């Protein structure tokens, strides 16, 4: 028997990618989708690419009704909105995969600092598990609430993590540069930031959120866990004229001398058996095109003996491994299925 699932907040880019994956998942029946703005509209009126795959219509979000209808709910809601739904769903014993930032930071004080508002669901925050399978696979499998990671943290943590795990990196002086396609900002509805307009984003590259981006504490939280001590990183995000894709370049001080071959051996050991992390051979570097519309993360590392640093690189699809596809991987873990279920299709090309 298939597991019944719902997607709340299905009218954005992340929701669209979730629907595309869930409608063909072998163990899932998608039974409800919500959108306040489009309540009553057929799903395929917004997403003609899904025409013929479903007869669902958008409903307004009613957590009580969803809790009676499904076993698991994906929340692709604006930040702070998930905190209203999660307590209701937990009370009914439903599993939740939240794609907002509401449950990613374990420290409620850090949440209040970075999101400028107190967290409203202390119990849910305490129960939530950070949903990066490569770090937290075992606890995800038994979790009731999984906080799906942000796209920039996925790229950064998977690029840098092996060096910290192996004690090959110093914790001070880590500098992270992230570049994301425009879908990282979401569909935005009627209110569109001018920087995401075609005329502004095309033929352009710009930094934003300098020194204040809200994914910074998330990156620090997970890297600190790997290092076993508190770390502070310098992180700068950039917008690039791609629909989808995220590229990370991190400069990491090495704790001792190492060659590129040494570092790659470390990465291959750490990621051995990981179904969605591909460690590239020496001389090969990641590209966003090679992971488009997939749950793959391609990683590479190069030793720079002149500066005693490692250059760590990763490429993901911000809606894939950086969002919806990673959420489906978490779903698979939570229900005891093969992690690759529904995610076997290779990246698209060109």
Q: What is the pLDDT of residue 195?
A: 75
Cα angle at 54 between 41 and 37, to 5 degrees?
A: 25
Q: What is the pLDDT of residue 192?
A: 58
The answer for residues whose C-beta is within 8 angstroms of residue 146's C-beta and 6 or more apart is 95, 96, 97, 98, 128, 129, 130, 131, 140, 327, 330, 334
**Residue 15 near residue 9 (C-beta atoms within 8 A):** yes
Q: What is the pLDDT of residue 186?
A: 59
To the nearest 10°, report the CA torsion of 126, 132, 134, 137.
40
Cα angle at 173 between 211 and 102, to 5 degrees?
A: 45
The closest alpha carbon to 179, from 235, 102, 109, belongs to 235
- Selected from 3.40.190.10, 3.40.30.10, 3.30.1280.10, 3.30.360.10, the CATH number assigned to the domain covering 152-316 reads 3.30.360.10
Q: What is the pLDDT of residue 220?
A: 98
Alpha carbon distance 345, 195 (integer Å): 33
Tokens of 313: 């690189």
| H or E element, residue 160 | helix 151-165
Tokens of 206: 């710009």
| Ramachandran angles phi, psi of 55, nearest 5° | -110, 15
Q: What is the pLDDT of residue 315?
A: 98
Question: Taking the alpha carbons of 329, 333, 338, 341 in that order, is the dihedral positive or negative?
Answer: negative
| Active-site residue, 151 included | yes
| Ramachandran angles phi, psi of 226, nearest 5° | -70, -35
Question: What is the block-wise mean pLDDT of the chain (350 residues), using blocks of 10 residues?
Answer: 97 96 98 96 96 96 97 96 98 98 97 96 97 98 98 98 97 97 68 72 94 97 97 97 97 96 98 98 98 98 98 98 98 98 96
Alpha carbon distance 325, 293 (integer Å): 9
What interhelical angle do 133-141 and 151-165 show, nearest 10? Answer: 100
Fold of 3-149+323-334: Rossmann fold (3.40.50)
The closest alpha carbon to 151, from 269, 79, 245, belongs to 245
The closest alpha carbon to 339, from 130, 133, 147, 70, belongs to 133
Among 72, 151, 266, 312, the active-site one is 151
- Per DSSP, the three-state class of 302 is strand
Alpha-carbon distance values, 240 to 16, 203, 316 (Å): 21, 9, 14
The closest alpha carbon to 308, from 195, 170, 130, belongs to 170
* Other CB atoms within 10 Å distance of the CB of residue 40: 9
Number of H helices, E strands in the chain: 12, 14
Spell out the domain ranges in the chain. Answer: 3-149+323-334, 152-316
Rg of the Cα atoms in the chain: 20
């Amino acid at each position: 028997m298939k597991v019944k699932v719902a997607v709340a907040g299905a009218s954005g880019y992340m929701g669209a990618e979730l629907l595309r994956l869930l409608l063909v998942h072998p163990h899932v029946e998608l039974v409800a989708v919500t959108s306040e703005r489009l309540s009553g509209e057929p799903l395929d009126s917004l997403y003609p690419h899904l025409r013929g795959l479903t007869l669902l219509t958008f409903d307004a979000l009613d957590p009580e009704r969803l809790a009676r209808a499904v076993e698991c709910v994906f929340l692709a809601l604006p930040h702070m909105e998930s905190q209203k739904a999660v307590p209701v769903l937990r009370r009914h014993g439903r599993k939740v995969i939240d794609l907002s930032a509401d449950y990613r930071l374990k420290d409620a004080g850090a949440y209040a600092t970075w999101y400028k508002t107190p967290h409203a669901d202390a119990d849910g925050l305490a129960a939530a598990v950070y949903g990066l399978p490569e770090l937290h696979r075992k606890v995800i499998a038994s979790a009731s609430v999984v906080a799906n990671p942000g796209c920039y943290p996925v790229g950064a943590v998977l690029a840098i993590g092996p060096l910290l795990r192996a004690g090959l990196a110093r914790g001070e002086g880590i500098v992270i540069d992230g570049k994301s396609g425009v879908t990282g900002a979401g569909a935005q509805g009627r209110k569109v930031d001018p920087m995401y307009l075609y005329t502004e984003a095309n033929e352009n590259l710009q930094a934003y959120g300098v020194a204040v981006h809200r994914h910074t504490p998330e990156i620090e939280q997970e890297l600190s866990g790997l290092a076993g001590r508190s770390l502070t990183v310098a992180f700068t995000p950039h917008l690039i004229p791609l629909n989808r894709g995220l590229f990370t370049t991190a400069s990491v001080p090495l704790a001792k001398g190492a060659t590129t071959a040494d570092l790659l051996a470390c990465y291959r050991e750490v990621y051995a058996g990981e179904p969605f992390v591909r460690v590239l051979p020496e001389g090969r570097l990641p590209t966003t095109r090679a992971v488009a519309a997939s749950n793959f993360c391609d990683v590479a590392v190069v030793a720079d003996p002149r500066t005693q640093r490692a250059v760590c690189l990763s490429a993901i699809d911000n809606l894939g491994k950086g969002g919806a596809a990673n959420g489906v991987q978490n779903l698979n873990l939570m229900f005891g299925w093969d992690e690759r279920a529904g995610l076997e299709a290779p990246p698209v090309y060109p």
